[in-house]
Every structure is written in C-alpha cells, then in structure tokens.
Amino acid sequence: MTATLLDTSKGIVEYTYKGTGPAVLLLKGGHSTRETDLSHSSLIYEGFSLLTVSRPGYDYTEVSTGKSPEIFAETIIEILDHLNIQTVKVIAISAAGPTGIALAVNHPSRVSKLIMEAALTSPWEEAVKQKARVLFGPAERMVWGSLKTMLKFFPDLIMKQLISEMTTEDPEEYLERLSPNDRRFIYDMLATSQSGKGFSLDIDHSVTTDISKIQVPVLGMYSQKDKSVPYTHALLLKSRAPDCEIFEVDADSHLIWIGKNAQQVWNKRLEFLSR
C-alpha cells in the first residue's frame, strides 16, 4: 500500500488511505510500522475506508507532529481536513490509547466512535519506562537488527522472549498451543517491527485528558492475561467513560487478534463499527 507524506503545520506525517465507505482511523501500537498488520487492513473488504496514520517517531512521521497525545490529535485533524473527512471511527491499539482518548475528548465533532484494543488508559509503570529507554533508545536499531537476525535462525527462542513480556501464562506452553497461522502472525509482527524514535516518545505519552469527558460510544477489548497492558486499564476505562462497553477477550496474551477467540474479536469490532 503506497504511503503519502503530508506537510502539516507541525511537521511531516505519513499515512495511507484506502477503500470506500465510512472512514475508520487506525492508530497502531508501539513498535508497529507501516508494514505491521494485526488484521485491520481487512476492514476495507467490509465496506469501510481505512485511514492509517503513522504516529510520531514511526516511519516518516516526525516527532514534532506529536510530542504529546493532544498535539498529535491536532495533527490528525489537519489530515482529516486535507482529505475532506468530516468524522471518523477511531481504533487505538495498545500504546496509541492516549492519542485515541485525546482525539475523542478534544475533537468530539470529528470522532463518532472509539475502539480501544488492549490500549493504555493510564501511565506506564516506571520499571517499564526504564527498560524501554535502555532497549529502544539510541540502541534501538542495533537491538531490532539483532532480534530480526535471530528470528530467522531461532524463531521459537525470539518469539518466546517476546511472549514472556505479553502474557501472564507460561510462554513456552503458550507457544505450543498456537496454530501455525498464529505463529506466522507473531513472526510477521516481529519481522515488521521497528521502534525508531516512536517508542521512546510513547513511554512519556500519558492520558492527561479526562476520560469522563468522552462523548462518543467506546468499546474496549482487553484480556485478563495481558501482561503488558493489564486488565486494570479496562476497568479504568469502564469506570470513567460515560458510554463504554468492555468486551473481555478470552485471549492468553496482549495479542487479542490471535487465538481461539480471534473471530469473536473481529465480529465484535465489526458489529460496533456498523451500529
């Protein structure tokens, strides 16, 4: 899919826009690049147009476009204006949660619905921030280069390391239960990941907007066994957002898009978007 670069008032932003029908804005999570697809691209075959915006520090999107979720929400509005899109249904994944919330709260006339998929609703823990600064700061290119090389030769080892950060289950047993398609999903996700300057920015992005001021319907999809975004984020969202439904995904990790209930996640997303 060909990407477009837009020179906004705050800097260059990369996006893709494809399909016809009601517009869905996709904000991917941490480490995700233009090539990372967690299944959402199929929305264009379900009658939606899909606007995917690379967040600050990822791909060619400049850090200056969003040093806070609120600032990046303003940048997104410039993209919508450029494309003559009046309103969007927003999907915010994982680390994109704060931006999704900022967009819904500060620009209610431009957002009709918000889906939070294993998405952050409160600040990162300090221990997570410190680890991220070491791994995904100045050394991130070397770290990802080594991981991707190892992935080719020792895929199980690298996938196990990844999963250990994402599940409360035993990572080895988790891997053994995966179908070949689910293993391919994780492999492809890793192979297309790159932090750039984005994840260093993500860890300092936090929800400073008042969730109780969200005026649109919200769907939160979370797993009880998610280690990286604990279920407390779902409970916080439910307790504060006025019109919020939490769909508890029976998934064994942060990766709610795979596993035995992946089809239920897809169906729930479609049902909410189509209301």
Provide the pLDDT for residue 1.
59
Q: How many CB atoms lie within 10 A of CB 96?
A: 28
Pick the closest to residue 22 from 46, 40, 49 (CA basis): 49
- Decide if 114 contacts 104 (C-beta within 8 A): yes
**pLDDT computed for residue 215 by the predictor:** 94
What pLDDT score was predicted for residue 133? 81
Query: Residue 128: its pLDDT value, please?
Result: 78
Residue 138 has a pLDDT of 82
Q: Are 163 and 171 in contact (CB under 8 A)?
A: yes
What number of residues does the chain have?
275
Q: What is the pTM of this model?
A: 0.96
Residue indicated by tokens 């967690």: 38
Bridge-based pairing of strands 111-117 and 11-19 is: unpaired
pLDDT at 38: 96
Residuewise pLDDT in 10s, the chain (275 residues)? 589 999 999 999 999 999 999 999 999 999 999 999 999 999 999 999 999 999 999 999 999 999 999 999 999 999 999 999 999 999 999 999 999 999 999 999 999 999 999 999 988 777 777 877 877 888 888 989 999 999 999 999 999 999 999 999 999 999 999 999 999 999 999 999 999 999 988 988 777 789 999 999 999 999 999 999 999 999 999 999 999 999 999 999 999 999 999 999 999 999 999 99
- Top CATH class of 4-125+198-274 equals alpha beta
